[in-house]
């Protein structure tokens, strides 16, 4: 039996009410919020932002665009999972990564996308705050020593 056939049989055996219960437990994507400890996340990760303000602003804008694209992709996948349920999962998700547990695979995929969305939102908040500081410095409205900390 192929993995596709096995996955189809496992999905067919799942009670639709159980799928509905899993989906009822997850919020709509627009209700996912930033993480509680968002201030501790490093928005630049391992690459340090340039010191030059113009270069720093460009660097931050590129990071914002990247995280926003990631957030939108995660929202699209999350909504696909919510809309299609088990049909949105791959045979690999069902048979291998969840050990032949379609509902577990669905829960796992939804939690993963929820985590990605909340992470991206958290990083975007940090990036926008830093971007505001850089723009204020460039406009001359802040003391440089205050903005660096």
CB 98 within 8 A of CB 104: yes
Q: Which residues touch 134 (CB under 8 Å, ≥6 apart)?
A: 53, 56, 57, 60, 147
> pLDDT confidence of 48, banded at 50, 70, 90?
confident
Rounded CA gap, 57 and 43, in Å? 14
Measured over all CA atoms, what is the biggest interatomic distance in the chain, rounded to whole angstroms?
69
pLDDT band for position 144 (cuts 50, 70, 90):
low
- pTM given for the model: 0.86
Instruction: Give 102-139 pLDDT, tens digit per residue.
Output: 999 999 999 999 999 999 999 999 999 999 999 999 88
Supply angle C-alpha 76, 81, 86, rounded to 5: 155
Q: How many CB atoms lie within 10 A of CB 22?
A: 19
- Tell me the pLDDT tens digit for each residue of 93-102: 999 999 999 9
């Amino acid at each position: 039996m192929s993995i596709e056939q096995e996955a189809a049989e496992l999905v067919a055996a799942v009670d639709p009410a159980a799928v509905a219960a899993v989906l009822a437990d997850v919020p709509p994507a627009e209700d996912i919020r930033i993480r509680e400890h968002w201030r501790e996340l490093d928005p630049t990760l391992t690459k340090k932002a340039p010191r030059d303000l113009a270069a720093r602003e460009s660097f931050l804008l590129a990071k914002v665009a990247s995280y926003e694209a990631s957030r939108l992709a995660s929202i699209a996948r999350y909504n696909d999972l919510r809309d299609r349920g088990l049909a949105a999962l791959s045979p690999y998700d069902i048979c291998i990564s969840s050990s032949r547990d379609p509902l577990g695979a669905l829960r796992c995929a939804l939690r993963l996308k929820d985590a990605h969305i909340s992470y991206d939102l958290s990083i975007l908040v940090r990036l926008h705050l830093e971007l505001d500081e850089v723009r204020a410095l460039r406009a001359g409205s802040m003391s440089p020593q205050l903005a660096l900390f």
